[in-house]
Amino acid sequence: MRERLLVVTTLLEAHPFMGHGTSVRHIRRFPLGTYPYLVDYSIGRDAIIVRRFRHASRQPLS
């Protein structure tokens, strides 16, 4: 799973708008694909900032 997360973050650095927008302004979401996890991130000036990494079936706290 760690390798998949590294692949996804590298992919998002190259193509930051691949993820879907969320109801939270400036936060986008991308699934890990073969694993049931989601990466919530924002697009920084020079980097992708991972805000949250969670299991897809878990309800968000807020």
pLDDT digits (tens, 9 = 90+) for 2-54: 898 888 889 999 999 999 999 999 999 999 888 899 999 999 988 899 999 88
Q: Longest Cα pair distance anywhere in the chain, in angstroms?
A: 31
pLDDT at 61: 63
DSSP 3-state percent helix, strand, coil across the chain (nearest 5)? 25, 35, 40
Higher pLDDT, 62 or 14: 14
Exposure of 48 by Cβ count < 10 A (0-12 exposed, 13-18 middle, 19+ buried)? Answer: buried
User: Which residue type does 46 have?
Assistant: D
Amino acid type, 14: A
Residue 60: pLDDT over 70: no
Cα separation, 19 vs 26, whole angstroms: 11
pLDDT at residue number 62:
57
